[in-house]
Amino acid sequence: MKQLFVPLFVFALAACSGGVPMAPQRSPHFEAVSAQLQLGGTVYAYADIEGDAERATDFLLTLLRDLPGLVPPQGANRLNATSLVRTLGLGDLRAIGLSSYENDALYHNRSFLHYDGAREGLLKLFGGEPAPFDLISIAPKNADLVWDQQVDLRVLVDIVRALGELGIGLTPEDLDEALRERVLDLDISLGAIIERLDTTAGLILVVDESRSLRIPGESFWFPYTDFLFRIDGLGDLADAIIERAVLDPFIATERTGDFVIIRPAIRLPPPWNAYEPSVVKEISTGRTYVVSSPSFLKSCLATASDTVAQNPDFARAFEQLPKSGNGLVFFSSRMTRQMHALLDRAIETDGSSITTSITRFFLPDASYPVGWVAQNSDAGLLIASNSASSHKSTLLTLGYAALLPAVAVIGASFLDPEAPEAPEAK
């Protein structure tokens, strides 16, 4: 891999010489990437990866073929790095860059993936053209999590089909059969749903720390949390649920103005009776909502100027981040604190494990807000965030992740029953 790193000591040299020393033969992609980054902070890294995707994939496939049963025999010969990289849409990746600088106890982080040509494969999964984040306009000021994401799940079907043609996973025939299956015994197929999933989805959570919900017979508890999940374009699915609800005595249907509300006909047992889970279709837009209660949906839709954008945590988390894009995530300081508290209670109940240790490693720092935005452009994908961790943590995580395939292969070699036994010492 061709790489250029600009560590902190370079800045001291630059201060003396009047500028940052540049390589006499610069990478052809450096300008496109560096234009999206910020030099002079805690982290700055650039890597030219043209052609490296295939080399890295070839190495990974070599490791994975040694894992018993992971790559089926019928696919082992046809699956190669070139075909896999092309199927995943990673062949046009040219360079990546990272930068971080500290700003009022948070780090402003940027990552940029530079590619040539149109987005293909996985790069198409998370949307097309950037757009304003509409969900912010209905997220209340006390929202603790806001997630707003363009998504095109049809891309996954295309990838699964292409892999099937290579002999990996479902065959195209099995995939087509699965897509024809009815969902939840409704009058709509899985394929019909996925075909409509070039869409935008969003989630809002509001945590009430004053109300505790305890699992019956368990010491484990969690704070009451209102939720709103919204997805565009699935009005047909909501219609199928409404049609089924007419015949089901356990499901109640109510039409109020511009909404059709579907909810349980009976009250849920404790502690779940704190919720009134409902599926709501907005008739004018075709949007579908899954909410903790119709009253929470009503309060969100009635939100006017007092939105999450007025929350000091939100303002801090989204300072200098793009106002439009393809994906947005916000965690309040209360949410990050509750995430760690939830894990602590899980450990108290069931004990610690490798899973809990890994989970802790990936959780955002407690009591700090987090803002994250992904934005497509003609030159690549920009990911910008404000969080309590810089890209030093990202680089460390990537280092660990790079070791996992090798560790898995080494572990499999010990478990392989056909592995030759070592000769006895004489």
Residue 190 tokens read as: 């899985």
Give the other-Cβ count within 10 Å of 178's Cβ. Answer: 14
Instruction: Please give the backbone phi and psi of residue 320, each rounded to the nearest 5 degrees, phi first.
Output: 70, 10
Identify residue 296 by its one-letter amino acid code.
Answer: F
- Find the helix or strand (DSSP H, E) in which 103 lies: strand 93-103
Say what the pLDDT of residue 56 is: 62
Phi/psi region, residue 43 (left: phi>0; alpha: psi -120 to 50; beta: rest), is beta
Task: Please choose, from the candidates 174, 108, 162, the residue with its C-alpha nearest in 3D space to the C-alpha of residue 388.
Answer: 108
Q: What is the pLDDT of residues 368-420, one digit of tens each?
A: 999 999 999 989 999 999 999 888 766 655 554 444 444 444 444 444 444 44
pLDDT at 324 over 90: yes
Q: What is the pLDDT of residues 124-160, one digit of tens each?
A: 888 889 999 999 999 999 999 999 999 999 999 999 9
Q: What length does the chain have?
A: 426
Q: What is the DSSP letter of 189?
A: B
Residue 312 tokens read as: 């000091």
Task: Please choose, from the candidates 3, 20, 6, 1, the residue with its C-alpha nearest in 3D space to the C-alpha of residue 101.
Answer: 6
pLDDT at 242 over 90: no
**Average pLDDT score over the chain:** 83
Which one is predicted more confidently, 175 or 166?
175
Give the other-Cβ count within 10 Å of 314's Cβ. Answer: 22
